[in-house]
Every structure is written in C-alpha cells, then in structure tokens.
Amino acid sequence: MQVEDRLKELKDTINRKVPRGVTVTDVEYEGPEMVIYTDDPKRFAEEQDLIRTLARDLRKRIVVRPNILGDTEQAYDMIKSVVPDTAGITDIFFDTDTGEVLIEAEKPGVVIGKNGGTLRDITMKTGWTPKVVRTPPIPSTTIKQVRQFLRETRDERKEFLRRCGRRIHRDSIYTGRDKEQWLRLTTLGCCRQVGRAAFLLSTPESKVLIDCGESPGATGSASSPFLNVPEIYPFTTLDAVVLTHAHLDHSAYVPLLYRYGYDGPVYTTPATRDTAAMLQLDYLDVNNKEDKVPPYSSNEIREFVKHTIALGYGDVTDIAPDLKLTLHNAGHILGSAIAHFNVGNGLYNIAFTGDFFYSKSRLFNPAVSQFPRLEALMMESTYGGSEDFSPSRKEAEERLYEVINTTVTRGGKVLIPAFAVGRSQELMLALEEGFRNGLLPKCKIYLDGMIKEATALHTAYPEYLNNDLRNQIFRDNYNPFLAECFEQVDSQEKRQQIIFSDDPCVIISTSGMLNGGPVIEYLGNLAESEKNMLIFVGYQGDGTYGRRIQKGWREVPVGKKGSIVINMEVQTVEGFSGHADRRQLMNYVQYLQPKPERVFTIHGEESKTIDLASSIYKKYHIQTVAPQNLETYRLV
Amino acid sequence: MQVEDRLKELKDTINRKVPRGVTVTDVEYEGPEMVIYTDDPKRFAEEQDLIRTLARDLRKRIVVRPNILGDTEQAYDMIKSVVPDTAGITDIFFDTDTGEVLIEAEKPGVVIGKNGGTLRDITMKTGWTPKVVRTPPIPSTTIKQVRQFLRETRDERKEFLRRCGRRIHRDSIYTGRDKEQWLRLTTLGCCRQVGRAAFLLSTPESKVLIDCGESPGATGSASSPFLNVPEIYPFTTLDAVVLTHAHLDHSAYVPLLYRYGYDGPVYTTPATRDTAAMLQLDYLDVNNKEDKVPPYSSNEIREFVKHTIALGYGDVTDIAPDLKLTLHNAGHILGSAIAHFNVGNGLYNIAFTGDFFYSKSRLFNPAVSQFPRLEALMMESTYGGSEDFSPSRKEAEERLYEVINTTVTRGGKVLIPAFAVGRSQELMLALEEGFRNGLLPKCKIYLDGMIKEATALHTAYPEYLNNDLRNQIFRDNYNPFLAECFEQVDSQEKRQQIIFSDDPCVIISTSGMLNGGPVIEYLGNLAESEKNMLIFVGYQGDGTYGRRIQKGWREVPVGKKGSIVINMEVQTVEGFSGHADRRQLMNYVQYLQPKPERVFTIHGEESKTIDLASSIYKKYHIQTVAPQNLETYRLV
C-alpha cells in the first residue's frame, strides 16, 4: 500500500474512533509522529483520554493540530492570564506552521499544570497547541542559539519531518514467506580501541548508524571511523543515525555525514543535541587553532541540529519500517543514553550502552539495566580490565578534599584540568558540598573554559539529572552550581589576577588532558612553585601532556613558549570517572534483565575488551565476543 | 602515475633490456598479460630466454606480437610443412587482431616440438605467434561452440581485455603511511549449508567474488547467494570473479552478474569455463522444462564465456593492484581449482579450497596442499562430520563389481543415476577396468544424457587428468572412455530397445538425484522387476526422489505419469564421492604447508562445519571458525 493510501485509511479509522461531532480533516506523518488535523482541537483537549487511546490503538505517537488558528494577540493575552505568574514565562512564540505555541518559562511545571490541566486549558481557549520549554536558570548561549535556529528554519524542518515520516512509514519490501530475514551488526570503529565509535545495524529493509565519533590523538584516516566501506557509503542509504551521547569520540563526525549526502534524521536526547553542537563547534575551533583543516564547517553542525529528532528517555519510536528505538538513561553525562532497538516487531532486540556509569553519581541515576526484551548487548569496556577497580565516589571525594586541604593550608593553589562536560560538574558538586559542610577551607573556586556553558546546559535540562539534585534545585530552590564559592573567569585580566594573587584557590579549567585551552596558561605560571598542586581526575590519553606529567615528566614542552618545568606537586585522584569500572561492568551484566544471548565488548583497549568478554563468559555463561573493527556479525 | 605513463616507462625499460637492434614499438595490457609489439618477432623467438627474463624482471606475464603479419597463405603452407603430419592438424586459424595463429591438432605436443622448437620455428618463418589447442579425441559440441564464439567475438574480447588490463594495473589509491590497511572476508552463502557458494574478499583497493552458485532444492531467495547486500551490489564495484569449479552450486549464478551490470573478468581454468557453460545451458533447459522463469538467458552465459580469462594451474596472475591469484589442482572434477590469493604483495595469503578430494582418484591427482604462503584457509566440509568416513575408492569399486555381478547373473539390468560431470567418468573408468580385467561379466554399458559431452570435455583437457590416465590415453594410445563396452544412447528408439531387450546391461544416466532427465524413463520401466538393480553412487539431496527411494520409499510420484512402484533392488555404494571425507579433511590440514593461522569451515551442514572446526582446533591448535552466511571477518 502506498503511504497516501495508508494515511487515508488511518484518517477513516480515526474518524470512526473519535466521538460523534469531532472531525479529523487530515492525517500526516512528521518524523516518527502522526499529526492529526482537526477543526475542533478543543474537543480533543476536553476528551482527556482520547489521544492516549488513539496512540495505544494505532501504536503511534500522536499530535493534534487545529486547522484554524486563533488570533495570536488574543492567544497571548489568554496564556498570560491562564498561567500563574509564578511560572516565570520568559518567551511566547507562535509557530503558524505547526499550530504550536512555544512557551519558555522558568518553571515549566507551573505552565503544564496538574495532570496537564493548564495546557489543556490553553488549547481549549486558544486553539493553539502549547509546547513548554525551560528557561535556563543559568543563561546558555548554546540553548539560545539552538532554539533561535530551529525557529528560523521551521519551514525546512517541517518539510524534512514530513519526508522523514513518510520514509519511516513506507511499505516493507521484504515480506513474503520465502524471504530470508536477517539482522547484521557491522563494526566501523571503537573495537579494541577507545574512540571513533560507529556501528551499523542493517536488515533487508533498513540501515541505522549508531554514533560517529573521532579517535582523540589519532591522525589521518585512523581518526575517523571507517566511513568509506560499502556497508555505509553512500550515506544516502542510511535510514537513521542514533547518537548515544555528546562526547566527541561519539559525535564529532556526525555533521560530516551531512556534508557527504546524508539528509536523514539523528535521534538523540535534546540535551545531547545541544551539548554535541557546543562540543562540535569547539572541535572546529580547536582544529582551526591548530592549523588543521576541519572535516566540516559550522554549516554541517547546523544541519545536524536541524535534522535532529529529539527523544526523551523511554519514548518508543518507529525509526524505520522494521525498527523501533528507545533511549534509556546511561548515567554517563548529561543526556547520555543507552540505545535499545526492537527489530522486526520483536524478532530481535539489541542495546548499545554507549558510555555508561552503573552507580548513582552526584548528577545522574545509574544506567538502566532492565529492558522489555534483549537478545544482544553492545557494551563499553573502557575499564574492563581485570585490575580496573576504581575507588567509590565517596572515597574519591574524601581524597580530593584531603589534597585540597593540604595545598590550601600551605598557601598553595590547586589546578584541576577537567573536561567541560560531566567531570567538571561532578567536581563542582563535590566541592560545593565540601565547602558547605566545612570539609574544605573557605577559598574561591575558579571555573575557566567551556565549563560555565556546559553547566548552564545541565540546569536547562534538569529532567536528566537525578532526583536529589533536581529537588535541590527546583523544590528547595538551591542551585549548587550557582553557589558563592564559584567564580567564572571571563577575561585575560581576571586570569592574571588569579595567578598573581597570594590567596589560595582551586582552579578547574579545560582541556582535561592539558592538550590546549586556558589550563595551559595556569600551568605555565603555577608549575614553578612547590606550594601549588596539580590534580588529575580524569583519564589521560596516550601522547597527551597530561599523561606525560602523570608518568613523572618534570619538564614538558607546552605550547609555543618552550618548556614548563614542573615543581608543583602532582597527584592523581581516581574515582571521578563517568565510566563503569570493572566491578560495575560485571554487576551490570549480572543485574541485566532479561539476560542477553550475546554480549559484545567494545570501546576499550584490546586486552581489556578481551579480558571482559572472557570473564563475562566464564561467570555468566553468556556468549561473548570482543569484535575487531570492520567485522560483520549476523544476529538473526 | 597514469597507466599511459606507466606503459611508456615500461616500453623504455624493455627497450633498454632487449639486445641491440631489436625494437619494441608498443606495450599494452591485455587482461593480466603484457603484450609487447615488435617489428622483429623473429629475434624474440631466436633469443630463447629473452621473454622469460623480461617476465621475471618485470613480474608480468608477457606475450610478444609482431607489428607486420606475414601473408596467411604462405604462413599456412609454412606451418603445414614445418609440423610433422603425425601432429594431426585439424584446423588452422589466423587471428589478424592478435597476430596469433590458432593450430588445432590431435597431438599438440608434436606441434609444439621439443622445448617449443617447432613453435619458435613457425614464429621465425611466418611472423605469426602460434597457439596450439587440442582437437578433442571425442567430438565436443561445447568446445566447438566455445571456440567458435570466441573467434566471432574476438574484437569485443580484445577491447574487454585492454580495458580489464588497465583496470588491473591502475594506480593504488590506498598507499601512504597513515592509511590503515585491511582485508575483509564476507560470506554471501554456503555457510552452515551445502550450496550457493559465494564469498567476497575486499581491501581498500579491490573486491573479488569467489564463486556464485545456486542452492539445489531451495526455492525463492534462498536458492541464490545474498547478492543484494551493499558489500557486493552494485556488481560494477567488483574487480574480478573467480570460479573454483563448474558445478552449479558454485557456478549457476555467475551469468546473472552480467545481467545486472558486471562487465569484468571471470578467472577460471579453460576446462571449468567450458564445463560451466555446458552445465549453465542445461540449467536453463531444466528451468524451462519445469516452467520456471530462469534468472538469465543464454546471452548471459555467452557474456560469461566472453569475459573469462582462462588460467592454468600455477599461473601467478595479477587480478587487481593488490591481489595475485593462483589456481591449483583441487582433485574434485575436471578443471576444479583451489584459489590462492596473495594480498598486498604478500601481506596476507588466503586459499579457498572450493570442493576438493585429497587422494588420487582414477581421474585426478590429490588436491594441492603446499603453498608459498598461507595465513587463512576456507575449507569445504561436506563430509566434515565426525562419522563421515567413506570407504576407499578400491573398496567402493569392489562393492560396485559385486552388486553388478549379482544383477547380471540373475539376468537383470543395473541402473545408476549419476551426475554428468565427475562421477560418471569415475564410474566409466572403474567399469572399463573391471571388464578389461574380467572382474565383471561381459555386457553393454549404456550412457544416456549429458555424460557423453562431459566425457568429451575430459579428453579435450587431458592436462587436468592425472599422469596415469593421461599416459594411458596419449602415450599408450588407449582411451578407456572410447572402450567397446560403452555405448551412447542417442535416440528414443535406442532407449526403448535397451529397456525392452532381454540382455542384462548397465545404464548410467542423468540426473544424479532422479530429479528429471532420461534416468526417469529407465526407472519407470525397470522398477517393476525384482531382477533389476538401482545403485546410488552419489549424494542424494534432501527432498529429491533419489533420497526418498534411498530412505526406503517403494512408491514415488515421479514426473507427470503418476507414481512408480519400486520392486527392483536398491543399493547404495559409497566411496565414489568427489569430496574429501572426514579423514581426508583432517589429513589435509595436517599436511598443509605452511600451516595457516585460521581455518574457516564452510560448505557443509551446520553440525558438520562446527564439528570439523572444533576438531581441527583441538588437534592442530589452529584458530577455527564455522562462519554463518552474511558475516564479515577482518583478516588484516
């Protein structure tokens, strides 16, 4: 059946299901959603269960839009009068193409109202469909730009969503009794190595790419996944790209796909979309500063944003005729997800953990380990080696306090190189609590680099944070990221002031592996004095200055200024990683429900993936593989 | 460097190497060969070692052609006068495009002369390059047609060979220090099953398909290899197809490639080219008779023949910038080969056994088990199960004699369904010797179906037979296939005469699994009498009538006539298979030189491939895999 015919049939079915008097005039796909047009949006709003019942019966995500839109000025006044002032509305935007009114508010919950009552009220009184987004408690340039860009390109985006929707809901060509079914997994990177994540799932119907990242520190063709093999190139054959999280070893090459012909969707969380865009822009910036030719321009980052279909955790979404995707919390960084695929209407289920953390951290809940069905698991193995046991977060924090106390007591300054996204926020929360509870001496904590922007993103998407932190911010009205102890460094003047002041302090600055960024200037000036302290809290990649100093080098050629002599004390505090350690990895498999038939250990050094695979097999009697890059496994 | 520049450089190099006074006017690639044009072919012929030295220095297969050709009438007389009458010349053909004169003779050796002396003589005296082919001792329609067709299409073929030669010798795009090398093996069929052989070897430079067969007895998409996956489709991306042998489970879908865009070479032995063409034509015929739509027409079989580049055993041949192919005797059927690939100038070596037999048979030498280098082996496993031990050929023959003796003594007729190619000739040789040595009673052996033509092919290509048989035919002048005991059945009248005669006899007829062909008519008439005997000597596929009768069915619905009641005696004589049995398979790995790092067990039922893989690993500590279809393994 053609899509047109199917839509017509759907319209008839819906008209039979809706109460007498309600008329559905049109049905259209927009991405994975089904949009119902009606003359009578108010009745839809009134009948609370109607949309839910339709969605369940048709097994589709449903959106209702009015045919005739109310006057925007009247609607504006109506919204202002219906929504309590405590909601803190900061922007109202009417999208005449979608019939949606975007309400940006400091407290989205107040706009939504109890059980969505206020929203329904708005629909009934204005005819517009309200969509609520949070006003970032800390202003975020990224979010502002992304929202602005999506508004500007809404025509293109609507056209894209319709095209994409029709492609998702196309007829299956591969039905029939004598057709052999199959499901294949192809490894395009990230096997027996950390970096350049890229995996392909393919069936006779469809092809999905999971992640497309860079290999930090690698050069030439080894820095990108294998994108020139026939399984994936030309990119026009791809149905979808799924992005598990924003870190560049998973996201850096996603915009490149748009440069070379891909024009389909990227499925990811809204938080990952924004964070990835921020990191990709920075990636271009770093490339430019290092006189490298970046593989794409900011145009392609905009294409990535424009083509992203944002999904929340738990949204079961059709992404191809025979594929459903559900994202689940991975506990690694903001918006990070485990991607679960239901293939062929339940024929086979496979989950990609992406990077994950299987314990509650200050920021996130532990990764989800329960799935409706699961035959295969692609599992990261960064700390999969038999010796890779990390201290608990609590032990790590105590050790961090101790080292800072020692330094501050002797009048020194503490320099902590950290990644902008994830580690910095964990550190901030630990330090804030330490100060608040008197476990640390009073001193300033300076944040330099992209940390402020990354932190803003965290508070703009509190639904990805764990309950405790969310409650602290929104119920108890205490945002620890805004605590007095923190001070953002915004100028070169300020930086110099911090460096040459006599006051002890803590400086958290990017980059996390001392490979550039403002941290180098601090290091160059603080390294001289034995009173000062350099603390490593994250993984230092091979070949980075961080790794060299950590190994004991006491003179490193940094930047163009020549070498820096390291007299300051150097300590490594383990236990702040966002990756599951060996114990967590084994526990994760133990507590997985249901148990998969096969586990693939990926995203780890060769020996670690092999060790983890072998240990899982021995302990849980699950078939395991530590694949190589460029292999294809037949799953069905 | 462009091909043109490289050829110019080669010309200069050659001109520096040839003796003073000899001039090379042009150098051109034709398929894997390098053709040297000269005004002075006589000097090239005189300097015996010149071509060999050039070939060694340039690492190319070299052919020399004159610029100016002698008068053909004079040349004809010259050849007739130089070659002794005993050569039995049956045809002389002058190809003005290549400057070759094709001499067809009953005794090619006499035309060639001692150390090629007569050939050189012809070159020196006529300027034409002589090429000698054997006049088939038994007339073969196939060979006649193939030779005729290749003559008719020589212009097209020359154009194809030039295009192909330039493609083979193109520049490598994938050199450079930061480029990652890889070699991948993709299974497109024939894994954990017998049938639809098809494997793909790929590197960043090139792609080669090994075999492309049907799955006998399967229907719909399961009857062909997986040809719609991106690794192989579109077929225009293929550099080469290599065909290990002619049986349809390896060759049936090769012509299909030409229907869907492939226009590159097929590398195989001349014997396999001709035998495959014969079997493919019969395959179309069977399809038509069964009212099926065949996947291609005889046009595509002609394309296959036209695009075949015939190689002898041991010819090391460039087939892509980074691939060299060598075919070795596989001992399975006429022209059957083990395909050995040298990848990336020795970086990696992999051999595909195709179907093989690792013991001397009446027809062939045992499969080759020594290679210059070998990292991986793709090994057939038809009889790879732990119980799959066959009797020796000697035991099998004794048992066959016994069963025939019993039947003939009681005045019955023996019916042996057999495959036209391979099994029939083995049986013929065994029976002929039995008669000659008085181990069998005197009676006629009737051959019906394609057996005669297949036998003709065997004697036209004696270089593929083992020494004993070749000596018997050509040195001792005794061709056992022409023995008096054999009589070809050419007419329906003759068939009826045999059936209704009272004389005991042996009938060998196709098809080998009772799935059609003249054997059905014999069966329908001979089945009634308990005096008669049905002997199975070959594998009976699941679902065939042969398998049913073998299992004990005594009434089978055959053809459109209704059912046949089986009163005749039914016996199975094992040991005539052309496949290595379990003992041979294990011995093959034991005697392999050098030992490979990995063995893939393919072309066998699931349990047998797994059993064989596991046994090889346990006994020889070689890493083994029993792959599934549609998987890709990274070899480098």
| Residues in a beta bridge with A130 | A101
Task: Choose the weakest-confidence range: A213-222, A340-349, B307-316, B399-408.
Answer: A213-222
- What mean pLDDT do residues B166-195 have? 87
Residues A330, A367: contact at Cβ < 8 Å? Answer: yes
pLDDT > 70: percent of chain A: 98
- What mean pLDDT do residues B352-377 have? 97
- What mean pLDDT do residues B239-254 have? 97
What would the CATH number be for the domain defined by B82-135? 3.30.300.20
Regarding an ipTM greater than 0.90, the answer is: no
Q: In the prediction, which pLDDT does A197 show?
A: 98
Beta strand pairing status for B348-352 and B376-380? parallel
- Counted across chains A and B, CB pairs separated by less than 8 A come out at 56
Token look-up 């001193």 returns A443
Name the architecture of domain A159-387+579-634.
4-Layer Sandwich (3.60)
B399 pLDDT above the threshold of 90: yes
Q: In the prediction, which pLDDT does B559 show?
A: 60
C-alpha–C-alpha distance, residues A528 and B438, integer Å: 105
Q: In the prediction, which pLDDT does B329 show?
A: 98
What order of strands is seen across the sheet that includes strand B444-448?
Answer: B486-488, B444-448, B505-509, B413-417, B533-536, B569-572
**Where residue B395 falls among pLDDT bands split at 50, 70, 90?**
very high
* B94-106 pLDDT, tens digit each: 988 778 899 999 9
Chain A neighbors of B630, CB-CB under 8 A: 182, 184, 632, 634
Q: In the prediction, which pLDDT does A561 show?
A: 60
- For chain B positions 210-269, those within 8 Å of chain A (CB to CB) are 219-222, 226, 228, 230-231, 237
- Residue B365 token pair: 């030498």
What order of strands is seen across the sheet that includes strand A505-509?
Answer: A486-488, A444-448, A505-509, A413-417, A533-536, A569-572
- Does A355 show up as a binding residue in the annotation? yes
* A203-221 pLDDT, tens digit each: 999 999 999 999 977 878 8
* A500-546 pLDDT, tens digit each: 999 999 999 998 888 788 999 999 999 999 999 999 998 887 778 89
Select A3-66's CATH number: 3.30.70.1290, 3.40.50.720, 3.40.50.2300, 3.30.300.230.
3.30.300.230
In chain A, whose CA is at the least distance from the CA of B232? A230
Select B407-572's CATH number: 3.40.50.10890, 3.90.550.40, 3.30.450.40, 3.40.30.10.
3.40.50.10890
Instruction: Answer yes or no: do B629 and A630 touch at CB < 8 A.
Output: no
Percentages helix, strand, coil for chain B, rounded to the nearest 5? 40, 20, 40
* A272-284 pLDDT, tens digit each: 999 999 999 999 9
Instruction: Answer yes or no: do B230 and A228 touch at CB < 8 A.
Output: no
Spell out a b/e string for A115-146, using b for 16 or more CB atoms within 10 Å of the CB, else e.
Answer: eeebbbbbbebbbbbbbbbbbbbbebebbebb
Residues B378, B353: contact at Cβ < 8 Å? Answer: yes
The CA-based angle B211-B351-B238, given to 5 degrees, is: 40
What would the CATH number be for the domain defined by B179-387+579-634? 3.60.15.10
Q: In the prediction, which pLDDT does A254 show?
A: 98
The verdict on domain A399-572 having CATH code 3.40.1280.10 is no
**What is the pTM for the complete model shown?**
0.91
Instruction: Answer yes or no: do A630 and B634 touch at CB < 8 A.
Output: yes
Q: In the prediction, which pLDDT does B219 show?
A: 79
Residues B253, B213: contact at Cβ < 8 Å? Answer: yes
B178 pLDDT above the threshold of 70: no
- Give me the residue spans of the domains in chain A: 3-66, 72-135, 159-387+579-634, 399-572
pLDDT > 90: percent of chain B: 73
Q: In the prediction, which pLDDT does A541 show?
A: 75
Select A72-135's CATH number: 3.40.190.10, 3.30.300.20, 3.40.640.10, 3.40.1190.20.
3.30.300.20
Mutate: best of B630, B633, B635, B636, partner A, most A CBs <10 A: B630
B303 pLDDT above the threshold of 90: yes
C-alpha–C-alpha distance, residues B579 and B353, integer Å: 11
**Where residue A179 falls among pLDDT bands split at 50, 70, 90?**
confident
Q: In the prediction, which pLDDT does A21 show?
A: 81
- What mean pLDDT do residues B248-266 have? 97
* A418-456 pLDDT, tens digit each: 988 988 999 999 999 999 999 999 899 999 989 999 999
Closest partner residue to A230 (CB to CB) among B222, B230, B628 is: B230
Domain B1-68+147-171 matches domain B407-572 at the CATH topology level? no
Annotated binding-site positions of B for Zn(2+): 245, 247, 249-250, 332, 355, 603
**Where residue A19 falls among pLDDT bands split at 50, 70, 90?**
confident
Query: How close B346 gets to chain A, by Cα (Å)?
Result: 21
A374 to each of B121, B219, B508, how far by Cα in Å? 76, 32, 56
Q: B555: how many CB neighbours lie within 10 A of its CB? A: 13
* A363-415 pLDDT, tens digit each: 999 999 999 999 999 999 999 999 999 999 999 999 999 999 999 999 999 99
Average pLDDT value over all residues in chain B: 92
Does residue B632 belong to the interface with chain A, where contact is any CB pair within 8 Å?
A: yes
- For chain B positions 591-630, those within 8 Å of chain A (CB to CB) are 628-630
A120 pLDDT above the threshold of 70: yes
Name the architecture of domain B1-68+147-171.
2-Layer Sandwich (3.30)
Q: Which position has the higher pLDDT, A286 or A234?
A: A234
- What mean pLDDT do residues B363-382 have? 97
Q: Which residues, at least 6 apart from A22, have a Cβ–Cβ distance to it below 8 Å?
A: A38, A40, A43, A44, A47
* B9-57 pLDDT, tens digit each: 999 999 998 888 888 999 999 999 999 998 887 788 777 788 888 988 8
**Where residue B176 falls among pLDDT bands split at 50, 70, 90?**
low
* A62-87 pLDDT, tens digit each: 888 888 888 899 999 999 999 999 99
Query: How close B505 gets to chain A, by Cα (Å)?
Result: 44
In chain A, whose CA is at the least distance from the CA of B225? A180
Instruction: Answer yes or no: do A237 and B222 touch at CB < 8 A.
Output: no
A171 pLDDT above the threshold of 90: no
Q: In the prediction, which pLDDT does A535 show?
A: 97
Q: In the prediction, which pLDDT does A558 show?
A: 65
Does residue B179 belong to the interface with chain A, where contact is any CB pair within 8 Å?
A: yes
Instruction: Answer yes or no: do A204 and B178 touch at CB < 8 A.
Output: no
E strands within B462-574?
A: 486-488, 505-509, 533-536, 555-557, 563-565, 569-572
Q: Which position has the higher pLDDT, B292 or B271?
A: B271
Chain B neighbors of A205, CB-CB under 8 A: none
Q: Which residues, at least 6 apart from B363, have a Cβ–Cβ distance to it below 8 Å?
A: B334, B422, B425, B426, B429, B458, B465, B466, B469
Question: Following CA atoms B319, B320, B326, B331 in sequence, which dihedral angle do they give, to the nearest 10 degrees?
Answer: -70
pLDDT > 70: percent of chain B: 98
Going by C-alpha positions, the residue among A292, A194, A303 that lies closest to residue A249 is A194
